[in-house]
A = this chain, B = another copy of it.
Amino acid sequence: MACGLLFSAGKDSSLAALLLERFYDVTLVTAHFGTTDDWRHARDAAAELGFEFETLELDAAVAEEAVERMRNEGFPRPGIQQVHEAALEAAAAEYDVVADGTRRDDRVPTVSRAFAQSLEDRHGIEYVAPLSGFGRGAVDDLVETYLEVEQGPSETVPKGDYEAELRALIRERWGASAIDDIFPDHEQTRVRGRADG
C-alpha cells in the first residue's frame, strides 16, 4: 500500500520511515513553497536512507498566513501547526496512507485524534503516526542505534522542509532578528544515513 510520509530530513521523520518501511511502500514527501531550494537537503537524505522521494508544493498563501501569524504571536507553534496540517491535507489527496513523524511529547506539530479522523474520513485514507506512542527517550535510543545524524544550529544544519522557507520569508520581511525572536531554539537534526543497527 502506498504511504506518503511527511519528511524534513530530521531524525523523527527518518525514524518513522524505518518503522513503516516493512509494512508500506513508503515515499518520503517533502512539503515546500517553491521559494528556496532547501527541499534538496530532504531529497539527499531520502537518497541516503534509500527511499523514494517526492516534493509537494503548497500554496504560497499558506506560508504568508503562517509567517504573519508567527510574527504577530511572537512564537512559531501555531504557524508551524497550520503548515503541517496543510501538508497533511495535500498528501492525503495523493496517497492511500499518509504518515508523519510526530512524537508523543511533541508540542508542535501535533495531530489530534479529531483531526486524524477528519482527514481520514474526508479523503478516504488512513493517517498513521508511528512515533506517536514513543517518548523522547525511546526515540533517542532508536535514533542512536539506527541512524547517522548531524546536529547543530539551523544556520548550519537547515531543515529540509517548509520550516527553512518560513525562516527565509521572515528574514526577508522583518530582518534576521525577527527569526531569533520567533524561533528561540535553533537546534536541528539532519540525517546522513542509516547506522549499522
Please tell me if A184 contacts chain B, counting CB pairs below 8 Å. no
Contact B97 A138 (CB under 8 A): yes
Contacts A120-B135, A132-B132, A133-B132 given: A126-B97 contact, CB under 8 Å? no
Could you tell me the distance in whole angstroms from the C-beta of A10 to the nearest C-beta in chain B?
17
CA distance A173 to B196 in the complex (A): 56
- How many chain A residues sit at the interface, stated as a range, is 20 to 34
Q: Are B120 and A129 interface neighbours, CB within 8 A?
A: no
Q: How far is the CA of A104 from the CA of B131 in the complex (A)?
A: 12
This chain: copies in complex: 2
| CB interface residues, A 108-130, toward B, < 8 Å | 113, 116-117, 120, 126-130
Per the bound structure, the CA–CA distance linking A189 and B93 in Å amounts to 33
Q: Are B128 and A23 in contact (CB under 8 A)?
A: no
Q: How far is the CA of A113 from the CA of B116 in the complex (A)?
A: 18
Interface centre among A19, A104, A131 (most CB of B within 10 A): A104
Give bound CA distance, A133 to B103, whole Å.
Answer: 9
Listed A/B pairs (29) with beta-carbon separation below 8 Å:
A1-B141, A18-B22, A19-B19, A19-B130, A22-B22, A23-B142, A23-B146, A102-B133, A104-B113, A104-B132, A105-B113, A116-B135, A117-B135, A126-B135, A126-B137, A126-B138, A126-B141, A127-B138, A128-B133, A128-B134, A128-B138, A129-B133, A129-B134, A130-B130, A130-B133, A130-B134, A131-B133, A132-B133, A133-B133
